[in-house]
Structure 1
Amino acid sequence: MLLAIGPDKPGIVNTVSAFLTERGCNIEDSKMSVLGEDFALVLLFSGALPSIEKVKADMKSLESSASLTTLLKDTKAPAASRKEASLPYKLEAFGMDHPGIVNEITGVLHKNKINVESMETGVSNAPVSGTPVFHMLIKMTVPTSLSIGKLKEELIKVEGKQNLNITLTPAEI
């Protein structure tokens, strides 16, 4: 897995993908986004051992040529047999922005052994007032042993405490 971050500019994705391709590696999965003034990439890539070793050996050249800070981590596909039976769900939340929203919601998820598969958050300004409005989208897997009614009750408490609107819906597989 390759994590990279650097000043946002055109061509970063092409530079990183060319770097991996030239060394015989293939990008299998990725998440990329502009955050502030920077561009962040998380890439799961594969290749034969000599190709992976070449990527490791040449990483400093990628960092200097593309002005990136990088981290390489060996990883492998998750073992399906180790995962508890679960169902995909989607959680959406929005309300006036303030500290603690992400912590409060993810605290409920953690307590109930819910795995966050992906999460996106952001703040935008309300059209008329300009008030900062927080929005969140979480794709997660909920253990089949957990009562969805119980989870909804806990999220209703968070709605009141954090002054949010939270929706929980089954997600498509």
Structure 2
Amino acid sequence: MEPKEKHYLVITTIGADRVGFADELTKEILSHNGNIEESKMAVLGGEFASLVLVSAEDIKAITGLVDALPSFGKEREISIFLKKTTPPHSREERIAFRLETVSLDTPGIVHAVTSILKKYDISIEDLETDTASAPMTGARIFHMRAIVTLPKRVSPRKIKEEFEELESIQSLEITLHPLSVSTE
């Protein structure tokens, strides 16, 4: 028996941080027979944001969510963006790396790093940043952590050389460590 075709919806939400919102959103998704395949949820400033990939075997489940979520958001003063999407697609075989940066917090760090990634056709699978106060000085320290995938044709050594140059220009510490082979 062949598996049924799945239908997909990406739900993005943002609203004032409060206890219970994730429960309410996931209950609404479940009430329409949606299945959460992937999600990211975080507090950013005073806002709670979520990014959720929902799948369903019945298109009516997705249509029901598309119809119901705008009023769900309005009732709770939450901005909601919906986008129907396709199944995750296969790409060429790639090599996964963990990328980390640490530096004093200055504008342009994420852009500088992502510019190098773009130059070499490196995909960002996951990226997060945060700042914290240094224990002794109180200076703002910036951290970036990412999972990136390099096409097999790209030399990790070349990327490390580019990062070393960036480190000297922007006073960053960048590490790039292989994870495993990925065939997404």
Q: Same fold (TM over 0.5)?
A: yes
The 5-angstrom pairing of residues 17-28 of structure 1 reads 17-28=26-37
Aligned to 1:13: 22
**DSSP-derived class of the 1:133 partner:** strand
Aligned to 2:69: 59
The aligned amino acid for 2:83 is K
Question: What is the RMSD of the two structures over their aligned residues, measured on CA atoms?
Answer: 1.1
Aligned to 1:105: 113
Residue 171 of structure 2 is aligned to residue 163 of structure 1: yes
Cα displacement (A) at 1:51: 1.4
Could you tell me how far apart the structure 2 residues matched to 1:129 and 1:85 are? Answer: 45
Q: Mind listing any 5+ residue stretches in structure 2 that lack a counterpart? A: 1-9
Aligned to 2:7: none
Q: Equivalent of 1:114, from 105, 110, 122?
A: 122
Aligned to 1:31: 40
What are the superposed Cα offsets for residues 77-129 of structure 1, whole Å, 9 maximum, x if unpaired? 2221xx12210001100011101110101100100100000101111110111
Could you tell me how far apart the structure 2 residues matched to 1:121 and 1:54 are? Answer: 35
Q: Equivalent of 2:51, from 5, 18, 42?
A: 42
The number of residues matched between the two structures is 171
Q: TM-score scaled to structure 2, two decimals? A: 0.90
Q: Mind listing any 5+ residue stretches in structure 1 that lack a counterpart? A: none
4+ long deviations beyond 6 Å: none
Could you tell me how far apart the structure 2 residues matched to 1:26 and 1:159 are? Answer: 43
Cα displacement (A) at 1:60: 2.3
Could you tell me how far apart the structure 2 residues matched to 1:36 and 1:8 are? Answer: 9
Q: Equivalent of 1:127, from 107, 114, 135?
A: 135
Q: TM-score scaled to structure 1, two decimals? A: 0.95
Which structure shows the higher strand fraction?
2
Q: Equivalent of 1:75, from 77, 85, 90?
A: 85
Could you tell me how far apart the structure 2 residues matched to 1:46 and 1:11 are? Answer: 23
